[in-house]
Amino acid sequence: VAGERLPKPERGKMRVHKINNVNKALDFIASKGVKLVSIGAEEIVDGNAKMTLGMIWTIILRFAIQDISVEETSAKEGLLLWCQRKTAPYKNVNVQNFHISWKDGLAFNALIHRHRPELIEYDKLRKDDPVTNLNNAFEVAEKYLDIPKMLDAEDIVNTARPDEKAIMTYVSSFYHAFSGAQKAETAANRICKVLAVNQENEQLMEDYERLASDLLAWIQRTIPWLESRDPQKTIPAMQQKLEDFREYRRVHKPPKVQEKCQLEINFNTLQTKLRLSGRPAFMPSEGRMVSDIGAGWQRLEQAEKGHEEWLLTELRRLERLDHLAEKFRQKASIHEGWTEGKEVALRDRDSGTASLAQVRALLRKHEAFESDLAAHQDRVEQIAAIAQELNELDYYDSPSVNARCQKICDQWDLLGSLTHSRREALEKTEKQLETIDELHLEYAKRAAPFNNWMESAMEDLQDMFIVHTIEEIQGLIAAHDQFKSTLPDADKEREAILGIQREAQRIAELHGLQLPASNPYTSVTPQIINSKWERVQQLVPKRDQALQEEQNRQNSNEHLRRQFGSQANRVGPWIQTKME
């Protein structure tokens, strides 16, 4: 019962030997903390039934019941509490003590069914058949649980109050039987648990190796992608790469972070379990240590940081390129809008039909244009500088930018050349028109007096003259002859005046200029001069004839006067004489 070896009993059969053997048992019982009151070896040897039964109960109580402990209660209370808990779910069972609560036999059957339900068909038991219930429980306990039949069913049923100690002793057998089974089950559970822990450890090792391999493989695949530097040419394309990177951080990386944390947790958990179970620490395969994963993750973080910095730098570069390209387009559009029509205007030969005043006005307008052109030089230089910067920054649309810039520069050079040519043409035209203007002025200065001379000459040539003497007519003839002597010089003057006009005409025709409809300084045209000169030429012989006729008439009159005088000189004295 105690499970311990006692001192070897004496083999003699004498009373003293018996007393000594009983005393050895009593001493052992006393050594186990059992108080023996009024119980001596002599009474037991002498066959005192009461003392012997008391001794047996004391032994049962000490070794079968006293060790029962439930929630720090006494043995009896603990056993009662154990029975109550085990039978609580069963109908018609209410264990409150160790006598009346067991009379119907249902409590015994409930204990057995609770631990070995396959042995008892509890639902078929009836409360009104206690003998059958008790015998069923006793037989099952003896047959399957190795619990000897200590009680009799009829004694329990026919007794108003069954013996409490007997029932306690019998119930304690159930407790020890089931707690022993429970201990065996606990041991089996512990073995299973150890096996489960070992299996779990093995699974953790396999999971660690697999997760480590997968994580390291993912890191090895991801790092080259993060270290790649494939610059895009447009902002949308670069923004897509940035969005891919953000999706990597938002979608693809977080699960791997969890895997890494879980991997470290599993590794530490595994090492702790191995250490607690006394097994050697887990050593992962080469290259799959936590430190290897940490080093790989650090390289991943560095590559990720570098990739993000590169993306942002490239995006800023493309934004700057886009801003520069937009600035280039704006300045180019403004410049092209300003130059629109300028080439046609500079090529215009409107000075060919313009007057001197108009040419001078065109020159002043051209000077203003030259100032405007010089002011736009900065814009052209800025356009060229922006195009150069776009080329240096490897702008994707540099060919079109270069073509447009080259077109602007070529047009600018052409405008400069045309501007210079137009200035030279206008200045040349101005000088030519000034020469023509001077010729016109010279023509006017000489044509006016010559015209007046011809008008006076025509008046003189057409003037009616009345003379009475030959001397008067001779004076007129002399004056006319003198006038005729000036005609060659006058003709030269006329030719010179007409030559001035012809020179002006020649210069205009030579340089494709259009002379004004009339001389701005005089209304006397070459046609008027020629017409009047012809009229003078026509009047001179007429005047000659008129003067000659008048001279002839005067000569005739003089002859008649002489004849009259001669006759008068002869007649006069006669008349005087007659008068006297």
pLDDT tens figures, 499-511 = 998 898 888 888 8
Separation CA 3–CA 20 (nearest Å): 21
pLDDT tens-digit profile of 216-234? 999 999 999 999 888 888 8
- pLDDT value of residue 55: 66
- pLDDT value of residue 87: 92
Percent of all residues in the chain with a pLDDT value above 70, rounded to a whole number: 91
- pLDDT value of residue 336: 87
DSSP letter, residue 64: I
What are the tokens at 163? 């013996």
Q: How confident is the model at residue 491 (pLDDT cuts 50, 70, 90)?
A: very high
Secondary structure class of 397 (helix, strand, coil): coil
Separation CA 489–CA 502 (nearest Å): 19
- pLDDT value of residue 189: 63
* Greater model confidence, 557 or 222: 222
- pLDDT value of residue 50: 63
Task: Determine the average pLDDT of the residues in 317-333.
Answer: 88
- pLDDT value of residue 104: 92
- pLDDT value of residue 118: 92
pLDDT tens-digit profile of 265-296? 888 888 888 888 778 888 888 888 888 989 99
Separation CA 33–CA 54 (nearest Å): 16
Q: Which CATH number fits domain 197-312: 3.40.309.10, 3.40.50.720, 3.40.50.620, 1.20.58.60?
A: 1.20.58.60
- pLDDT value of residue 270: 83
pLDDT tens-digit profile of 119-176? 999 999 999 999 999 999 999 999 988 888 888 989 889 988 998 888 888 888 888 8
Mean pLDDT for the chain overall: 84
Contact 212, 284 (CB under 8 A): yes
Phi, psi of 525 (to 5 degrees): -95, 160
> Within 463-513, where are the H helices?
470-510
Neighbouring residues of 250: CB distance < 8 A, sequence distance ≥ 6: none
Total length of the chain: 580
Is domain 324-438 given the CATH code 3.40.50.300 in the classification?
no
**Domain ranges across the chain:** 15-184, 197-312, 324-438, 448-579
CATH topology for 15-184? Actin-binding Protein, T-fimbrin; domain 1 (1.10.418)
* Greater model confidence, 410 or 515: 410
Angle at Cα 83 formed by Cα 81 and Cα 86, nearest 5°?
Answer: 110
Q: How confident is the model at residue 1 (pLDDT cuts 50, 70, 90)?
A: low
CATH topology for 448-579? Methane Monooxygenase Hydroxylase; Chain G, domain 1 (1.20.58)
- Angle between helix 164-227 and helix 130-144 axes, rounded to 10 deg: 60
- pLDDT value of residue 507: 86
pLDDT tens-digit profile of 520-554? 888 889 999 999 999 999 999 998 998 888 888 88
Contact 513, 440 (CB under 8 A): no
Task: Determine the average pLDDT of the residues in 474-483.
Answer: 88
Contact 79, 68 (CB under 8 A): yes
Lowest mean pLDDT among 37-51, 55-69, 415-429, 469-483: 55-69
Lowest mean pLDDT among 50-59, 196-205, 337-346, 357-366: 50-59
Separation CA 498–CA 488 (nearest Å): 15
Would you say the CATH fold of 197-312 matches that of 15-184?
A: no
Is a pLDDT exceeding 80 seen at residue 514? no
Neighbours of 346 (CB within 10 A): 21
Q: How confident is the model at residue 96 (pLDDT cuts 50, 70, 90)?
A: very high
- pLDDT value of residue 303: 93
Q: How confident is the model at residue 402 (pLDDT cuts 50, 70, 90)?
A: very high
- pLDDT value of residue 533: 93
Instruction: State whether the Cα torsion 324-326-329-330 is positive or negative.
Output: negative
- pLDDT value of residue 357: 82
